[in-house]
Structure 1
Amino acid sequence: MRTIDIIGAGIGGLTMAIALEQKGFKTRVFEQTENIKPIGAGIILANNAMQVYKALGLHKIIEEKGNHISSLNITKPDLIPLSKVNLSAFEHKFGVKNIAIHRAVLQQILIDQLSSSSLKLNFKLEKITKNSNGHTLKFKTGQTIQSSTLIAADGLNSIVRQQLFSKTNIRNVQQFCWRGITDYSLPLKYQNELNEAWGMSNRFGFVQIAKNKVYWYALKSFKKNKEELNSNNIKNYFSQYKTIIQEIISSTNKKQIHTAEISDLKPIKQWYKENVCLIGDAVHAMTPNMGQGACQAIEDAFILSECLSKYQNNIAFKKFQKLRIKKAHQVVKKSWMIGKIAHLSNPFLISIRNQIIKLTPESINKKQFNQIFKISRL
């Protein structure tokens, strides 16, 4: 049985292992953390990701553990909608729902599905050395592993990419992001929606991920003084927003709020090299403005497993890149653009932006979502 090694046990890496298992491969998954902790963040599994999980036989359990999202709304700070996209047509077309779920819950679902795969924790990759049989992987523990086929799902700061591929450019967006999960009972009208409110150089999104449990995220632009931004002031940053947003922030345990600067990876042309292939954030990390980061990694995993089941490494990787690169780069570029538009600071430009969003026909929005939800096939 052919063995394929995967670096990273995030959503993309675990989905990759499951997809390969179902194709008859044996996998070893190496994760740098000592244990899988329930990080306080949610995830939106859009229609394209759920199509993959349907193909893998996992969509029902994910739907049971998460919350069905039927509408995506862009609003003003007072939650008056600027744009509403009804997702029911896509549910009927593709036969799956859009699901909001706790990231840790999804991760555990995926771990529970692994049967023959070996999940190795506390294996932080330090060095990769090429040899006649592939590559030797050296870990911080001192252990070394010989790998004949290597898939890197190790994120934006991928060690594999840094050591084996040409220099790449990580772009800082100059936006700070806070993410949290809180016990909060949303009014019925918001329980099956994702709402993202756009203000002046900031925005706030929230969605129910389980009964009386809400995942939220808040972003604010900075120029030079990012040190001044901290979790204790989030409520003040969004004081002009609707009361429910203030309540969501206030109800969250500050220790459960996670902070990060937003960055992406400038699109790169080379996704594979000999017996090594990059997937997910390791090759096309994107800003979170379309909720497609994990979804695109999930697509990668499914399509790459299809390619590997039919072709040898180099041909499989070549076909995988050809099938995925155009769409992934389009999502990277559009996510970057949306982030800039959402964080305008000029009141006049904000007014124009809002009018354009309001006047954009829903048919155009649905056409764009249809392109995102459509998965390439061999």
Structure 2
Amino acid sequence: MKRAVVIGAGIGGLTAAVALERRGWKVTVCERAPRLEPVGSAVAIAPNALAALETLGVGAAVRDRSVMQGDAGIRRSDGRWLHRSKAEAIIERYGRPIVMLMRAELVGLLADRLAPDALRLGTAVRRADPATGRVETDAGDLDADLVVAADGINSAIRAQLFPGHPGPVYTGHTSWRIVVPRPPGPCPYGEVWGRGLVFGAAGLTDDRMYCYATAPAPAGATAPDERAELARRFAGWPDPIPRLIASATPETVIRTDLCCLDTPLPAYHAGRVALLGDAAHAMTPHLGQGACQAIEDAVVLAHVAATSGDLAEYTAARLPRTTAIARRSRSIGRVSTWANPVAIAVRDLALSLAGRLAPDSAVRRFDEVFTWQPPVGETAGRAA
């Protein structure tokens, strides 16, 4: 039986572990944290990632724990709609919806599908040898035919494999995330774009909403009360944004600086080690594809490992696609956070005209992202 060691028990690492176990591999997942952290934020699973999860038999459970995203779009900070899309149009064009669920729910669903002895919490990895597959941990060494480095944006394994490569860069914007009760009355989904600021909202189960916001800020800056800072930044924005912020409890507001890998790696593998998710291609959240691309990575990697075993095929399949998506996400992030009034006026006019002249353009722009399908030979069922 072939053995794999997965470094990191986030969404990408756990998806890879499940995919490899289903292929008959013996998998050990090393996670430095003492428990699977129930991060209080949500994740969007787009049609491409849902197709990947269906090959692992997780699709039905994800749908059961999530909310299908309804009609959405982009508004100005005065509340006027610039662009709108229908949920039915997403399903009609791509065969699957966009669903939203808590990250902890997805992590739990994946972890529950692993063998009882697969997950080693509180186990830090020191290094991985690409030539031999030897993984050094603080609990002893492990030998593997394949090492999956899913250790996040500040990946120590990426730094080990590509020591001269530039690390993550700060985009100049910080973010806040909150999960709050859905307020009474109309509550439009989608994003609101203002002068350098963005606020987004989406539905969750149990009559909750996931909200996120971005704003320019110095790297590492914090506020004594992040909820108050969020309320200050978005004061005067269209209802229900001020009410959503006010309903959050200060201790549950998550603030994170937005960083990404602007310079693509030369490869996503070296020897027996494969990089996955943020460790390989950390991207900004503006396309909602960070976790989705990690899920794709995992399914493709397991397919390659179980067929040819040549990790160069994994790099060839994943590097061009994820590089293009990361660049597109970065570009959207720049446009959505413009602060120059003239540039904003041109941007808003272009969005408004596109919505009127080509009503389906808001959906069609996702074709290159959402039409992805799992590798040939992987079985995906809509009911899975």
Q: Same fold (TM over 0.5)?
A: yes
Residue 329 of structure 1 corresponds to which residue in structure 2? 323
Report the Cα offset of residue 227 of structure 1. 5.1
1:49-90 per-position Cα deviation (integer Å, ceiling 9, x unaligned): 111112222111111111111334111124332112224244
Instruction: Judge conservation of contact 1:344–1:350 (CA < 8 Å) in 2.
Output: yes
Residue 255 of structure 1 corresponds to which residue in structure 2? 251
Report the Cα offset of residue 243 of structure 1. 2.6
Alignment of 1:1-378 (within 5 A): 1-115=1-115, 118-129=118-129, 134-139=132-137, 141-169=138-166, 170-185=168-183, 187=185, 190=188, 194-222=189-217, 226=221, 231=226, 232-266=228-262, 267-312=264-309, 315=310, 317-360=311-354, 361-375=358-372, 377-378=375-376
Q: Measure, in 2, the Cα distance between the counterparts of 1:322 and 1:332.
A: 16
Q: Measure, in 2, the Cα distance between the counterparts of 1:63 and 1:49.
A: 12
Instruction: Judge conservation of contact 2:130–2:272 (CA < 8 Å) in 1.
Output: no
Residues 333, 30 of structure 1: alpha-carbon distance in 2 compared, 3 angstrom cutoff: same
Following TM superposition, where does structure 1 have runs of at least 4 consecutive aligned residues deviating by more than 6 angstroms?
none
Structure 2 length-normalised TM: 0.90
Mind listing any 5+ residue stretches in structure 1 that lack a counterpart? none
Instruction: Judge conservation of contact 2:43–2:100 (CA < 8 Å) in 1.
Output: yes
Mind listing any 5+ residue stretches in structure 2 that lack a counterpart? 377-384
Instruction: Judge conservation of contact 1:29–1:117 (CA < 8 Å) in 2.
Output: no
1:183-211 per-position Cα deviation (integer Å, ceiling 9, x unaligned): 23354664xxx411101111111111112
Whichever structure has more helix as a proportion of its residues is: 1
Report the Cα offset of residue 112 of structure 1. 1.2
Structure 1 length-normalised TM: 0.92
Coordinate RMSD, CA, aligned: 2.0
Q: Measure, in 2, the Cα distance between the counterparts of 1:225 and 1:151.
A: 30
Q: Measure, in 2, the Cα distance between the counterparts of 1:369 and 1:186.
A: 32
Greater relative CO, 1 or 2 (CA 8 Å, sep 6+): 2
1:244-293 per-position Cα deviation (integer Å, ceiling 9, x unaligned): 11111111111111111101012222111111110111011000011100
| Count of residues in correspondence between the two structures | 369
Q: Measure, in 2, the Cα distance between the counterparts of 1:243 and 1:108.
A: 34
SS at match of 2:301: helix
Task: Indicate the percent of aligned positions where both proteins have the same amino acid.
Answer: 26
